[in-house]
Structure 1
Amino acid sequence: MAFQELLNQVGSLGRFQILQISFVLFLVGLVVPHITMENFTAAIPNHRCWAPILDNDTASDNGSRILSQDDLLRISIPLDSNLRLDKCRRFAQPQWHLLHLNGTFSNETEPDTEPCVDGWVYDRSNFLSTIVTEWDLVCESQALNSVAKFSFMIGLFIGAIICGHLSDRWMSESARWLIVTNKPQKGLKELRKVAHMNGMKNSGNTLTMEVVEASMKNELEAAKRKSSPRDLFHTPILRNRICVLSFMRYLFTVSIFGLSLHLQHLSTNIILLRFLSSALGILISVIGHFVLNHMGRRITQLVLMSLRGIFMLTAVFVPQEMQTLRIIVVTLAAALSSLCMCVSNLHINELLPTTLRATGMGVIGMFGNSGLFLAPLFMLLATYSANLPWIFYGGFSILYGFSVFLLPETKNQPLPDSIHDVGNDWKDSRQAKEEDSIIKVTRF
């Protein structure tokens, strides 16, 4: 629209924009590592019950010192349904006869087992210490691990609300927003600041209130009607968008953070997995810019989110022995997450009018970001089936991909400044597009 002409005069991409982006990236860089660290600080290493004949250095009965480690494990720890060492139970008494039965119990009565009453022994080859090993958050207490992550995500949710208000002290307000909310003087001041920082001094001097009023005449006329949060639900189309976007944001948040918080459940080599997914994520984000330019918002999100969900579902059904394949599909799923988040945020911003964009994002965030603290709680379903949480995480990602067709495409479409630009129905929107021959379109 006309604001693009003003922006071109002060520099649409210069020092000012670069500094703003750099500051945002710095803030994001402070938060995101804390989410990633959950894979290390809350990792669940391999573990088994502490057994006296195995782990008591003073044990010497029955000549146990001359037996191998495998033999001692065999007589001390039962096998689970997958024929692996049980992580939560041990034999009440050493089962010496198992040394001669080739792993079977013959016709004898099944030996008595008991919980890990003396604690656990953890594999510390990858992690010397985590909250799991410090507080024994395994077996009956495994749910507390999800509760700890739930507490962390609650803090993140509250922090996002507080920091949203604090950010107004550090970051320049949008000149476009100031103008369309009937604050043209402040908008002019911001435009001059941008021109000065971008080295466009001549443009800054020629920018006057008359120039702003002439360029933004239609927007200033629309700004005379003061907007309120109730306007988000006043028109049918905008109300529908807010409801759909809130639902989609919930699906998105649960799926994204469900994977980010629990990567250690999908691979034993979490360090390699994080390195590969981060490196690939940078490459995919660069390529995604060109894909977004040609495919549009809806198709791009459908493809990305569906592939991401399919990769997650594939990972959980791949046998543990096929670690290489598991790492590949999990890496692809994790690498797609950052690009999915960028496209999702871009689409949301292009669907909401400038006058209500901040309020709309807040409403969508309040409803949708409930997934922040619900994402860890889905892992409690692992007590019924280890794959069940991942079916939800992957399924939500695929459902999000198809839900995007409930929203309009915004590629090369008008960027709405007011509720009037959103329109009350599609016919009005198409007619307005035909009548307005000079119009700002989205950049990509």
Structure 2
Amino acid sequence: MAFQELLDQVGDLGKYQILQMVLIFPTLMMLLCQIFLENFTAAIPGHRCWVNILDNDTVSDNDTEILSPDALLRISIPMDSDLRPDKCHRFIHPQWQLLHVNGTFTNMTEPDKETCLDGWVYDQSSFPSTIITEWDLVCSYQSQKSVVQFLFMTGMLVGGLIGGHLSDRWLVEPARWLIINNKPEEGLKALRKVAHINGMKNAGDILTMEGLRSSMQDELEAAQTKTTVCDLFCTPDLRKRICLLLFVRFATIVPFYGITINLQHFGSNIFLFQVVFGALTALVRCLPLLVQNHMGRRTTQTVFMFLVGLSILANTFVPQEMQTLRVALASAGISFAAASSTSFSIHLIELIPTVLRARALGLDTLASRCGAVLAPLLMTLMAYLSILPWIIYGVFPIMAGLAVLLQPETREMPLLDTIHDVKNNKEFSRKVKEINSSVKMTKV
């Protein structure tokens, strides 16, 4: 609470804070664009087996001029269960009899088929070239697309671990963190900088070392003890909080990336899907800020997580032909996933004390990257059951929603500064509940 008083003097939401958001936005956009680019660079176009009689340019026109391309396709490629040309098989020999009587014969044996031994022919109307067409990642090799995406996400994980340490050399550290970590001079300098940018001209008289020490005496005394990542697990309360937080973050990211990097699963017009999903994701980010003040942190996040899981599970059993419904459910899923991510971030900040918050955010980023790595890898399970990855995407957020209920409610609670505050916060929370219950009884 003492730091909040200092923050009020320098301006808690002014030009400085807005400038920070504006500067970080392009970086986030570049990262997101690179991730979502997978939907286009790894798109799977329509394809069929290459057949000599249809695709060999050296075949004389006189050999096939009496037959149309559709007729040649019919005698060369079998039909799948949806009565469309099979994507992964061809007839060993041309089936000329299929040109007669609509290709139906009684007592006719199944023609011999084989896999695409000579490669594939791709539909280039939407995507002239992708990594799929470049490396023939279709049919029995289709699972390798997920492996490629897995390696890309793994690179992000490794880069985050390395870049996280390098960024400490040039990023401006938050004033609150500096003060709590026994760097009051640097923290005071940062506060004066914020006050100057926000136009708080009289703040310089208040922001002195004496005023800082008197207002944050307890926090500064607690800061004499150095903290490490291990301190997040030193007490039962903190250990429970951080473990649940890491699981919830992991379970939130898995379905988010499961949807966003597999747009082609919901229909063919992925260009439109990308615009719609991007717009919805941006719009709903502010929704938790409005809902949490009325429903509380836990309830809001649990509701969002349940809606994510239910929308994905419902979509799993919707036929491919009902694309409008599939897109609507996917849009709801991605929206609720984005909202739950915002809700989670607020809850994390309020659950972890300031002295450990930076380290907790580091572990949070690690859990997030692990979820992003697992999301594409789950798609390899389609080789065993086509809906299995989507069932897992749906179950994860529901489990996370239940885990959120094990966390304490932090609405209207003071922001924690030290490890000792975690214990005091429990006592303060108990008193607030008693006051709220007595107020309700008085009203009745």
Instruction: Please report the TM-score for the alignment, with normalisation by the length of structure 1.
Output: 0.91
Distance in 2, matches of 1:322 and 1:139, equals 24
- The Cα of 1:301 is off from its aligned counterpart by 1.6
Query: Residues 319-355 of structure 1: CA distance to partner in whole angstroms, max 9, x if unpaired?
Result: 1221222222222222333322222222212211100
Q: Which residue of 2 aligns with 1:411?
A: 411
CA contact (8 A) 1:249 1:369 kept: no
Asked if 1:166 is matched to 2:169, the reply is no
Asked if 1:122 is matched to 2:132, the reply is no
Note closer, same or farther for the CA distance 1:428–1:203 as it changes in structure 2 (3 Å cut): closer
Question: Which moved further from structure 2: 336-345 or 150-159?
Answer: 336-345
Q: Which residue of 2 aligns with 1:440?
A: none
Q: Which residue of 2 aligns with 1:142?
A: 142
Query: Residues 257-297 of structure 1: CA distance to partner in whole angstroms, max 9, x if unpaired?
Result: 22222122222110011111122233323444322332222
1:39 partner letter: N
- The Cα of 1:67 is off from its aligned counterpart by 3.2
Query: Residues 388-441 of structure 1: CA distance to partner in whole angstroms, max 9, x if unpaired?
Result: 111111221222222211212222212111111111894575369999xxxxxx
Secondary structure of 1:114's counterpart equals strand
Query: Residues 78-127 of structure 1: CA distance to partner in whole angstroms, max 9, x if unpaired?
Result: 12334332211101111111223545453222111111111111112221
1:40 partner letter: F
- The Cα of 1:57 is off from its aligned counterpart by 3.9
1:316 partner letter: T
Distance in 1, matches of 2:237 and 2:369, equals 22
Asked if 1:275 is matched to 2:275, the reply is yes
Note closer, same or farther for the CA distance 1:170–1:205 as it changes in structure 2 (3 Å cut): farther
Structure 1: 5+ residue stretches without partners = 436-444
Note closer, same or farther for the CA distance 1:326–1:67 as it changes in structure 2 (3 Å cut): farther
Question: Which moved further from structure 2: 348-357 or 423-432?
Answer: 423-432
Note closer, same or farther for the CA distance 1:132–1:242 as it changes in structure 2 (3 Å cut): same
Secondary structure of 2:296's counterpart equals helix
Structure 2: 5+ residue stretches without partners = 436-444
- The Cα of 1:60 is off from its aligned counterpart by 5.5
Distance in 1, matches of 2:111 and 2:21, equals 64
Within 5 Å, give how 1:43-62 maps onto structure 2. Answer: 43-59=43-59
Q: Which residue of 2 aligns with 1:290?
A: 290
Asked if 1:132 is matched to 2:132, the reply is yes
- The Cα of 1:236 is off from its aligned counterpart by 0.4
Distance in 1, matches of 2:433 and 2:330, equals 43
Asked if 1:316 is matched to 2:316, the reply is yes
Note closer, same or farther for the CA distance 1:343–1:73 as it changes in structure 2 (3 Å cut): same
Within 5 Å, give how 1:82-101 maps onto structure 2. Answer: 82-101=82-101
Q: Which residue of 1 aligns with 2:18?
A: 18
1:182 partner letter: N
**Count of matched residue positions in the alignment of Structure 1 and Structure 2:** 435
CA contact (8 A) 1:236 1:424 kept: no
Distance in 1, matches of 2:303 and 2:68, equals 53
Query: Residues 337-395 of structure 1: CA distance to partner in whole angstroms, max 9, x if unpaired?
Result: 33222222222122111001111222343355322222211010111122111111122
Distance in 2, matches of 1:129 and 1:316, equals 29
Question: Which moved further from structure 2: 366-375 or 172-181?
Answer: 366-375
Query: Residues 2-54 of structure 1: CA distance to partner in whole angstroms, max 9, x if unpaired?
Result: 11110111111111111212222222112111111000001111111112222
- The Cα of 1:235 is off from its aligned counterpart by 0.6
2:404 partner letter: V
Q: Which residue of 2 aligns with 1:438?
A: none
Within 5 Å, give how 1:100-111 maps onto structure 2. Answer: 100-104=100-104, 106-111=106-111
1:380 partner letter: T
Asked if 1:341 is matched to 2:335, the reply is no
Note closer, same or farther for the CA distance 1:211–1:432 as it changes in structure 2 (3 Å cut): farther
Secondary structure of 2:386's counterpart equals coil
Q: Which residue of 2 aligns with 1:439?
A: none
Q: Which residue of 2 aligns with 1:302?
A: 302
Question: Which moved further from structure 2: 84-93 or 285-294?
Answer: 285-294
CA contact (8 A) 1:246 1:365 kept: no
- The Cα of 1:245 is off from its aligned counterpart by 1.6
Note closer, same or farther for the CA distance 1:322–1:429 as it changes in structure 2 (3 Å cut): closer
Distance in 1, matches of 2:96 and 2:386, equals 32
CA contact (8 A) 2:413 2:429 kept: no
Note closer, same or farther for the CA distance 1:97–1:426 as it changes in structure 2 (3 Å cut): same
Distance in 1, matches of 2:433 and 2:225, equals 22
Q: Which residue of 1 aligns with 2:360?
A: 360
Secondary structure of 1:48's counterpart equals strand
Note closer, same or farther for the CA distance 1:125–1:315 as it changes in structure 2 (3 Å cut): farther
Distance in 1, matches of 2:391 and 2:41, equals 25
Note closer, same or farther for the CA distance 1:171–1:434 as it changes in structure 2 (3 Å cut): farther
Distance in 2, matches of 1:403 and 1:418, equals 25
Distance in 2, matches of 1:428 and 1:3, equals 18
2:41 partner letter: T
CA contact (8 A) 2:311 2:330 kept: yes
- The Cα of 1:242 is off from its aligned counterpart by 1.5
Distance in 2, matches of 1:422 and 1:293, equals 21
Within 5 Å, give how 1:320-331 maps onto structure 2. Answer: 320-331=320-331
CA contact (8 A) 1:252 1:396 kept: yes
Distance in 2, matches of 1:86 and 1:218, equals 72
Note closer, same or farther for the CA distance 1:384–1:83 as it changes in structure 2 (3 Å cut): farther
Secondary structure of 2:114's counterpart equals strand
CA contact (8 A) 1:20 1:171 kept: no
Question: Which moved further from structure 2: 211-220 or 77-86?
Answer: 77-86
Note closer, same or farther for the CA distance 1:431–1:287 as it changes in structure 2 (3 Å cut): closer
Within 5 Å, give how 1:68-79 maps onto structure 2. Answer: 68-79=68-79
CA contact (8 A) 1:309 1:397 kept: yes
Question: Which moved further from structure 2: 351-360 or 48-57?
Answer: 48-57
Secondary structure of 1:66's counterpart equals coil
CA contact (8 A) 1:284 1:339 kept: yes
Distance in 1, matches of 2:183 and 2:81, equals 69
Distance in 2, matches of 1:297 and 1:60, equals 72
Note closer, same or farther for the CA distance 1:402–1:69 as it changes in structure 2 (3 Å cut): farther
Overall identity of the aligned pairs, in %: 54
